[in-house]
Structure formats: C-alpha cells, structure tokens
C-alpha cells in the first residue's frame, strides 16, 4: 500500500511527466533494424541530466541490464509499468514509493556526445505507445 494517496494511472492519460528534458530521437514503433520496431521512446539529453519518475508508483527493479546502463522499472498500478534505461546512476531502491516528477537518476557525463534515455510504458507486460500518455508542453515536441 502506498504511503500517500495516488490517483489511478488510467486518469492520467496525457498528464505523465517526461522523464528527462531533451529531444525525442527515437519514436515509438519506429524501425530499429530489419524486422524490429522500437517499443518505446529514445530521448537525447544533456550529460548529467536529471531523470524523474513519469508517474506515481513503486520501484520494482533497479540495476544494470544488458548493456542499457541502469534500468529502473516503476509499477504504477492497473497493470502499468514504466521502464527507464540508460542512466549512469539510479537514486532509489526496490520497494521505494515515488511521486511523479521525483528524481530517480542521472544520465552519464560523457565527452563523446549526448546520452540517451530509453523509456517504455507497458500494460500487462505489453509495450504501449507512451505518446498519448505524456503531457505536451508548449514549445515541446511530443515524440
């Protein structure tokens, strides 16, 4: 049970926080390689950029994952999870409850270009298009 009252994620369509400030360089369902489609968004950001929780929830996984850097999985309820990958540092531990916009990690500081954060939104284990869920801000491109 969360230590605070949280609205259901189903009521937050169009209101999720972008997990990092940057430019969407890889769109949901875009071609990755022959026969493969992207299941999330890739957001190019600044070295050392702060990553935040896109919605209220509980950390259910935190650790390195298959060359993606640190992976953080946040359970939001109603079968929804967000996956955030590519961070150099994760702030938070499994079991911790988060509020939308709460800092969860930092991107790498690199001299060889800008780091990218990969974000997926899943429902019942299946990737869903995160674009209709993310809040659009004036002057910001919505993937």
Q: Which of 3-17, 63-77, 85-99: highest mean pLDDT?
A: 85-99
Per DSSP (E only), the strands in the chain are 23-26, 31-33, 36-37, 41-44, 50-52, 57-64, 70-77, 80-87, 89-90, 97-98, 103-106, 116-123, 126-128
pLDDT digit string (tens) for 28-47? Answer: 877 777 777 779 999 999 99
How far is the C-alpha of 84 from the C-alpha of 40, rounded, in Å?
Answer: 10
Instruction: Answer for the pair 99, 53: CB distance below 8 angstroms, yes or no.
Output: yes
Could you report the per-residue pLDDT of 88-126, keeping only the tens digit for each?
999 989 999 999 999 999 998 766 778 999 999 999 999
pTM for this entry: 0.88
């Amino acid at each position: 049970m969360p230590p605070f009252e949280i609205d259901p994620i189903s009521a937050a369509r169009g209101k999720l926080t972008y997990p990092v400030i940057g430019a969407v360089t890889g769109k949901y369902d875009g071609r990755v390689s022959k026969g493969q489609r992207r299941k999330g968004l890739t957001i190019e950001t600044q070295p050392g950029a702060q990553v935040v929780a896109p919605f209220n929830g509980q950390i259910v996984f935190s650790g390195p994952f298959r060359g993606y850097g640190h992976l953080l999985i946040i359970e939001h309820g109603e079968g929804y999870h967000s996956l955030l990958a590519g961070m150099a540092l994760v702030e938070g531990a499994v079991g911790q409850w988060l509020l939308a916009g709460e800092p969860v990690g930092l991107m790498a500081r690199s001299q060889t270009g800008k780091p990218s954060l990969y974000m997926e939104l899943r429902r019942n284990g299946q990737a869903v298009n995160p674009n209709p869920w993310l809040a659009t801000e004036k002057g910001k491109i919505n993937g």
